[in-house]
Structure 1
Amino acid sequence: MPQTLDAIDAKILDLIQKDAALSVAEIADRVGLSSSPCWRRIKRMEEAGIIEGRVTLLDRDALGLGFEVVASVKLALPSKENLHRFEQLVRKWPEVLECMTVTGAVDYVIRITTTDMHAYDSFLREKLLGSGLVSDVQSRIVINVAKRTTALPLGLISDYVPAS
């Protein structure tokens, strides 16, 4: 069951999901609190698991990792054991940024980033198909990203008013 958040909690979350480098004093100032109560709210949301962690987002193109593929993966035999084995493997592959179990004709959709087509081909042959678990992969090369965000739609939380 979701935690109950008030409008100030939602404003704090909105601020830190957009810029995790903000200090508690900056956050407190923007939401109209002093630092101590703001820090306590953040700590409470961390302890409740609402705030899972804080990360720095990197520019994949600047790092030479701009080749992105969304792949639909069908397992040869989608048993409970094979699903578990595949998920364990995927967690070890740094090229896989996301892996989702989905409904429909395939078992998983995975998002992969790498340096180029040749590196993806190696990943496909050696890891995905080499696992012995996969019967089919449909790869879609990402040409352009119209929107990419890590920010959750906090406007869906009742009583939420965006922080300015």
Structure 2
Amino acid sequence: MDKKDRQILRELQRDARLTNAELAERVHLSPSPCLRRVRNLESAGVISRYVAIADRKVAGYGLTAYVQITLSRHERDTVNAFEQRVRETPEILACHLMTGPFDYLLEIVVEGLEAYEALLRTKLHTVSGIATINTSIVYGTIKDTEELP
């Protein structure tokens, strides 16, 4: 990626609905080379998808929790069962395999505390092999972006 590709990426991260003409104007290219660069970024996997980012609170998800999970054992069946449950649970926005004192870090959004408790009881507590669940509730956000630097 060169400087021009990074400019294109920055503009698309800010507004993926730009027309090619608008994008080309913002990055000071003519439309054809601009479109060619966008297609190259897509085919190289730099741009993996286009999404609409919803405001969580406005959409009804007033509680965000970061949840640290430690498994009691790391056998294939235990790991597969846990990871499958994560994939089937839409409230879990992200799941990261971690180094350090816990195995996974989950980002979860729900309507509120009652919904979070219900999710724990019906989705996570039912997976065998989970040793610990530690929850941190977000009560304010200083920065939240999907834009790469």
The two structures have a TM-score, normalised by structure 2, of 0.95
Q: Report if the CA contact (8 A) 1:72-1:110 is conserved.
A: yes
Residue of 11, 18, 22 corresponding to 1:15: 11
Q: Deviations over 1:61-118 (max 9, x none)?
A: 1121111111100112123442233222211100001100111111001010000101
**Matched ranges for 1:70-81 at <5 A:** 70-81=66-77
Question: Which AA in structure 1 matches 2:52?
Answer: T
Displacement, 1:36?
1.1
**What RMSD, in angstroms, separates the aligned Cα atoms of the two structures?**
1.1
Q: How many residues align?
A: 149
**Matched ranges for 1:53-64 at <5 A:** 53-64=49-60
Q: Which residue of 2 aligns with 1:160?
A: none
Structure 1 gap ranges (5+): 154-164
Structure 2 gap ranges (5+): none
Question: Which AA in structure 1 matches 2:148?
Answer: L
Q: Which residue of 2 aligns with 1:67?
A: 63
**Matched ranges for 1:70-149 at <5 A:** 70-149=66-145
- TM superposition outliers: structure 1 runs of 4+ over 6 Å: none
Identity %: 38
DSSP 3-state at the match of 1:26: helix
1:25 is aligned to 2:21: yes
Counterpart CA distance in 2 for 1:17 and 1:129 is 37
Displacement, 1:34?
1.1
Displacement, 1:33?
1.0
Question: Which AA in structure 2 matches 1:147?
Answer: K
Higher relative contact order (CA 8 A, sep 6+): 1
Displacement, 1:39?
0.6
**Matched ranges for 1:150-161 at <5 A:** 150-153=146-149
Question: Which AA in structure 2 matches 1:39?
Answer: L
The two structures have a TM-score, normalised by structure 1, of 0.87
Q: Report if the CA contact (8 A) 1:75-1:134 is conserved.
A: yes
Question: Which AA in structure 2 matches 1:30?
Answer: R
DSSP 3-state at the match of 2:125: helix
Q: Report if the CA contact (8 A) 2:81-2:127 is conserved.
A: no
